[in-house]
Amino acid sequence: MKETTTKSVKECGLAHRNMIPVTEFRQFSEQQPAFRVLKPWWDVFTDYLSVAMLMIGVFGCTLQVMQDKIICLPKRVQPSQNHSSVSNVSQAVASTTPLPPPKPSPTNPATVEMKGLKTDLDLQQYSFINQMCYERALHWYAKYFPYLVLIHTLVFMLCSNFWFKFPGSSSKIEHFISILGKCFDSPWTTRALSEVSGEDSEEKDNRKNNMSRSNTIQSGPEGSLVNAQSLKSIPEKFVVDKSTAGALDKKEGEQAKALFEKVKKFRLHVEEGDILYAMYVRQTVLKVIKFLIIIAYNSALVSKVQFTVDCNVDIQDMTGYKNFSCNHTMAHLFSKLSFCYLCFVSIYGLTCLYTLYWLFYRSLREYSFEYVRQETGIDDIPDVKNDFAFMLHMIDQYDPLYSKRFAVFLSEVSENKLKQLNLNNEWTPDKLRQKLQTNAHNRLELPLIMLSGLPDTVFEITELQSLKLEIIKNVMIPATIAQLDNLQELSLHQCSVKIHSAALSFLKENLKVLSVKFDDMRELPPWMYGLRNLEELYLVGSLSHDISKNVTLESLRDLKSLKILSIKSNVSKIPQAVVDVSSHLQKMCIHNDGTKLVMLNNLKKMTNLTELELVHCDLERIPHAVFSLLSLQELDLKENNLKSIEEIVSFQHLRKLTVLKLWHNSITYIPEHIKKLTSLERLAFSHNKIEVLPSHLFLCNKIRYLDLSYNDIRFIPPEIGVLQSLQYFSITCNKVESLPDELYFCKKLKTLKIGKNSLSVLSPKIGNLLFLSYLDVKGNHFEILPPELGDCRALKRAGLVVEDALFETLPSDVREQMKAE
């Protein structure tokens, strides 16, 4: 018996050591410390209530493990029972009762006679009886009360924090908390709010003085901007003050800039749905339902926890007894704990009911920053909705200052000011000067691509002649552009531009070249139609391609000095605005995207036109209106659908025509009438389907440039030797098998391209071409190059396009001569 008792004690100790400590339950309710800002007071309060209920459950479970659950004693047999029953019981007892203890004797003095009612049961039988009565007689509520408390509390904890753990919502919450903390701690937030709070009167006075000077510079004679309506909402406090620009260092400025972008993307993402709101409502409703269920069944069953329990189990053949009286050792304590638990649950449930009232009484899927706008004066802070609004409402329950500081990063005005400060810090005048380059018009140009705005430091580079802005939104050209006395060219590629009235006056007088690339007609700057001294205008973008629609390009008649107009678009007819400047226009280029250009009669009005380009306009014939342009010197009809050019004879009336480009078409032959174009100097027929060269072509003896590449030509007439002025000749990618010796009479030839043909021999007479500096013979069937190439003193290795193995066939002295610089 002693050994059995010791074993039981060890088991109890082992159970105590293996018992789950309270701290292990933290994972069910614990979330990141930063999440506390999304826990209003009622969630914090219910968390403490959950901890209290959890302690009740853990305490009850501990008692269940550490102490005996029930103690039972057999009831004595009543005398009224019949004799046979008594006899049977006596026999059963006799058969199971151990021998009586020995009587005390002098040799065994420790033996003491036991007193009290004898049951003749041993310890194992008592344990068996206790277990049987615990399982069959004790009410289930009294047995499992602490476990129910523990389970219900854990469910409450899970419900309270499930939206912090669910993948669809936790990612949004974590992102929001991360951004919120950065917005709260950002130096830019502190600066933006301090500028409107009036905390530092001295700084406020300084800003006011600087702002007055800035307004003096930026106001024109009329005292307004060209696009003043769109700028009217900008508070004066957000005008960039260069004197304090260094207050925010470059690193902090870049961090704030990145934060603005994060807030934008996060807002777009979170405002799409309301999963956070829906999940919080559902978990609150679930807690209320669970509260009602707990109150209902606990109130009904708490009376089942009794101190004394009668146990009737049929184990007489094993113990000799059938009726037992049991004592539930923890009944009194469990009864008190259950009443305490019901009180906590009731308070918990009432708190949840208040939460439901708050959720449905207020419109939590919309959030207005009206109070922030009134307090700070930043009028462009937008209201938000859905999950974004819900999280801000939750934040306000923690501390309204968070949403106030967060609102700074929703303001476009605040962002623009930050961008301007960052630009001015990043793009110093010295750094901008390093980007200066000479453009195609031989002007000193500053290209700025994909910036967040236009740095004010640009206007300190007074030597600037051309300013090129690409993919820059919200460009504001201030009056300080007047400092750029040498500025003549401005390029705006996919930029939205606003301009100060004083800046517009400056551009009207000084700007000579304007290039605008746009995606929509509405992006065309309206002020460009008033640039009276503009000489060149380049427009690239989508116009109307439907002939039934009027092209809404405003009149250009005020551009009295316009000489060059280039339109790269999809027009179906020449815009009327172009006709308005036809009298003084000298060069016009229309590059279509394949849209058919019709109704070209307006070309006749352009009497002073000297250059005309109609590229990719789906023309099937040369427009007749072209033959009326008596001043025309250059005509380019590239990438059309020309197949026949019989009307080329009409070009004989254009005495000044020197350049004719009919390349990238489907022309199959050259008519003999081309001989009448005696004034031609440059002729391009490349990328066509010409098979035969007429000998009459070479009667145009003024030709200096002749491009016949990428055709199906097999034979070069010997009349080519007539072209004594020829300097450039290309028959690349044809089917020519031999070259006439007369070709080498063209002694002024500098560039000869005969690659990708079927030539097998290169005549030694090529040495007559003393001015030859570029020769392409690659892709033929040559086995050897003539050593007479050495007579072409201007030809160097870099200008000789040939296979390396074929180059090695030249004499070594010729190779060395060509390799020499």
Sign of CA dihedral 55, 59, 65, 66: positive
Say what the pLDDT of residue 123 is. Answer: 78
Is 280 strand, coil or helix?
helix
> Which of the listed residues 358, 383, 418 is the one where a domain comes to its end?
358
Range picked from 91-100, 219-228, 700-709 for highest mean pLDDT:
700-709
CA-based max dimension of the chain: 159
- Cα–Cα distance measured from residue 720 to residue 609, given in angstroms and rounded to the nearest whole number: 32
Closest C-alpha among 225, 196, 739 to residue 414: 196
261 or 197, greater pLDDT: 261
Angstrom CA distances, 226 to 137, 165, 216, stand at 93, 53, 16
Say what the pLDDT of residue 411 is. Answer: 72
Angstrom CA distances, 513 to 396, 468, 559, 562, 583, stand at 55, 11, 12, 9, 19
Q: Where are the alpha helices (DSSP H) in 443-526?
A: 501-510
Query: Does 721 have pLDDT greater than 80?
Result: yes
Say what the pLDDT of residue 244 is. Answer: 42
- Cα–Cα distance measured from residue 815 to residue 795, given in angstroms and rounded to the nearest whole number: 11
pTM of the model: 0.59
Residue 149 resides in a domain: yes
CATH for 288:
1.20.1440.80
737 neighbors 758 (Cβ within 8 angstroms): yes
Structural domain range at position 758: 642-820
Residue 612 resides in a domain: no
305 neighbors 130 (Cβ within 8 angstroms): no
CATH for 787:
3.80.10.10
Residue 731 resides in a domain: yes
Say what the pLDDT of residue 226 is. Answer: 39
The mean per-residue pLDDT over the stretch 669-678 comes to: 90
What's the token pair of residue 395? 């934040």
Q: Are strands 800-801 and 774-776 parallel, antiparallel or unpaired?
A: parallel
- Cα–Cα distance measured from residue 142 to residue 402, given in angstroms and rounded to the nearest whole number: 49
Is 343 strand, coil or helix?
helix
Residue 382 resides in a domain: no
Residue 618 resides in a domain: no
Cβ neighbours of residue 45 closer than 8 Å, sequence gap 6 or more: 351
What's 36's DSSP letter?
A: G
Residue 298 resides in a domain: yes
Place of tokens 């009944």: 331
How do residues 783-806 score in pLDDT, each as one tens digit? 999 999 999 999 999 999 999 999
What's the token pair of residue 730? 């290309």
DSSP class per residue in 371-415: HHHHHH--TTPPPEEHHHHHHHHHHHHH-HHHHHHHHGGG-HHHH
Count of the separate structural domains present in the chain: 2
Q: Of the given ranges (51-60, 454-463, 671-680), which has the lowest mean pLDDT?
A: 51-60
> Which of the listed residues 336, 358, 380 is the one where a domain comes to its end?
358
What's the token pair of residue 563? 């000489």
Residue 430 resides in a domain: no
Residues pairing with 774 in the sheet: 751
The mean per-residue pLDDT over the stretch 294-303 comes to: 82
699 neighbors 720 (Cβ within 8 angstroms): no
Residues in the chain: 821
Is 467 strand, coil or helix?
strand
- Cα–Cα distance measured from residue 656 to residue 658, given in angstroms and rounded to the nearest whole number: 6
pLDDT band for position 552 (cuts 50, 70, 90): low
Query: Does 632 have pLDDT greater than 90?
Result: yes
Residue 253 resides in a domain: no
704 neighbors 725 (Cβ within 8 angstroms): yes
Which backbone phi and psi does 536 adopt, to 5 degrees? -130, 130
The mean per-residue pLDDT over the stretch 566-589 comes to: 86
Cα 111–116–120 angle (5° rounding)? 80
Angstrom CA distances, 151 to 30, 164, 464, 629, stand at 17, 20, 77, 96
226 CB neighbour count, 10 Å cutoff: 22
| HEC letters along 46-74 | HHHHHHHHHHHHHHHHHHHHHCCCEEEEE
Say what the pLDDT of residue 221 is. Answer: 35
Say what the pLDDT of residue 233 is. Answer: 36
**CA-based radius of gyration for the chain:** 49
Say what the pLDDT of residue 774 is. Answer: 96
Q: Of the given ranges (142-156, 345-359, 505-519, 742-756), which has the lowest mean pLDDT?
A: 142-156
The mean per-residue pLDDT over the stretch 272-288 comes to: 86
Q: Residue 105 carries which side chain, given as an amino acid letter?
A: S
Query: Does 116 have pLDDT greater than 70?
Result: no
pLDDT band for position 256 (cuts 50, 70, 90): confident
708 neighbors 731 (Cβ within 8 angstroms): yes
Which backbone phi and psi does 636 adopt, to 5 degrees? -125, 115
Query: Does 760 have pLDDT greater than 70?
Result: yes
Closest C-alpha among 193, 182, 192, 378 to residue 266: 182
The mean per-residue pLDDT over the stretch 538-566 comes to: 72
Which backbone phi and psi does 371 adopt, to 5 degrees? -65, -35
Query: Does 18 have pLDDT greater than 70?
Result: no
Cα 160–163–169 angle (5° rounding)? 170
Q: Residue 101 carries which side chain, given as an amino acid letter?
A: P
State the helix-helix crossing angle for 167-185 and 140-165, rounded to 10 degrees. 60
> Which of the listed residues 358, 392, 419 is the one where a domain comes to its end?
358
